[in-house]
Structure 1
Amino acid sequence: MATFIKSKSSSNSSTGVGYSNGVFLSFRREDTCKNFTDHLCYALVQAGIPTFRDVNELTRGEEISQQLKAIEESRISIVVFSKGYASSTKCLDELAKIMECKNTIGQIVVPVFYDIEPSDIRKQKRSFLEAFKAYEEICKVKMKKVNKWRGALNEASNLFGYALKDMANRYVFSL
């Protein structure tokens, strides 16, 4: 079972009517968890913004229903795209739900491109190309889902966001 970080000030008055979370963070644990995402989450919580972030890794086959519910209850989703993001079906399922919420309930989506170009996502090049080649081989029966992931990636990569380049060679602020 997954556990989550959520700031103490989670009243609906601060997040808007119908929202129990302010921000949902979507990221690939192996790529950004111990640096950028930890610092971002800490800053949001310190600012009093209710923040939902999965702090435990799911085991293979475990449902992400808690994450999907948290996405629906969030006013904003921050998606931290990294080189390995597309290799996680959990991340892709979250992204598909995030983009669905953007289009149906007006959720605000802020992409962060962490050491990756938006065009790599949009055109599905490099690591994104490799991941989708594997999905097409494995998921021949589930091509509808694979195409949904592709569409969500393309739509998200066209949003205004933040590009953090050459992060591997930078000192990460520590608290």
Structure 2
Amino acid sequence: MSFQSSHASCKSWNYDIFVSFRGVDTRNTFVDHLYAALDQRRITYLNLDKLPQGELMGPLLFKAIKESQIVIVVFSKNYADSFLCLNELVSVTECMEEKGQIVIPVYYDVDASYVRNQKGTYEESFARHELLHNKDKVESWRKALVYASNLCGWDLKYNANG
């Protein structure tokens, strides 16, 4: 069955794709190009730039995750700094289990093993999270990272110097 026909037969999907990313790392580089390619192909996704002013992002993001057939998780150096990104990832892994979503990890200028094993900047982020958040929450983030980073994905190296 093709992507288009499976999308049409499933009424619970309002978006083709949801993109989870850390804006400071990827918005003006990889994600902008990804969104342009999705627009070109007329693939539906939640466009954060078109949200009404004053809209609460958290609830809207989690609703969009649940309503998306495919989720692209763009892991970058500072992805784990954001508790919102980590909460999104927990929601993504839950929806993958419950609804059969397709999840595609993309490693943008970060090694997959650093994500999986929480090394480098991920280790530093979790050291801070452990001081600020409860143990169960931090553990759920760690498990979601391991789960998602064990999926097949793409490794993209970015070099600002060309």
Q: State the TM-score bracket (shorter-chain normalisation).
A: 0.7 to 0.9
- Which consecutive segments of 4 or more residues in structure 1 shift more than 4 A? 12-15
Task: Give the conservation status (yes or no) of the 8 Å contact 2:130–2:138.
Answer: yes
44-53 or 91-100, which deviates more: 44-53
Alignment of 1:40-79 (within 5 A): 40-55=34-49, 64-79=58-73
Which ranges of structure 2 fall in alignment gaps of 5 or more residues? 1-5, 51-55
Cα deviation per residue 1:8-43 (whole Å; 9 max; x = unaligned)?
xxxx96483211101001000000001110010110
Aligned to 1:103: 97
Q: Residues 113, 15 of structure 1: CA spacing in aligned structure 2 closer, same or farther, 3 A cutoff?
A: farther
- Name the structure with the higher helix share: 2
The reply on whether 1:155 has 2:147 as its aligned counterpart is yes
| TM-score normalised by L of structure 1 | 0.82
Aligned to 2:161: 169
1 CA distance for matches of 2:10 and 2:116? Answer: 32
Shift, 1:169, TM fit = 3.4
Task: Give the conservation status (yes or no) of the 8 Å contact 1:79–1:111.
Answer: yes
Aligned to 1:125: 119
Cα deviation per residue 1:87-143 (whole Å; 9 max; x = unaligned)?
00111011110111001110000010000111001110000000000111122xx21
Which ranges of structure 1 fall in alignment gaps of 5 or more residues? 1-11, 57-61, 171-175
Q: Residues 102, 90 of structure 1: CA spacing in aligned structure 2 closer, same or farther, 3 A cutoff?
A: same
Aligned to 2:53: none
What is the root-mean-square deviation of aligned Cα atoms in Å?
2.0
Aligned to 2:3: none
2 CA distance for matches of 1:164 and 1:15? Answer: 33
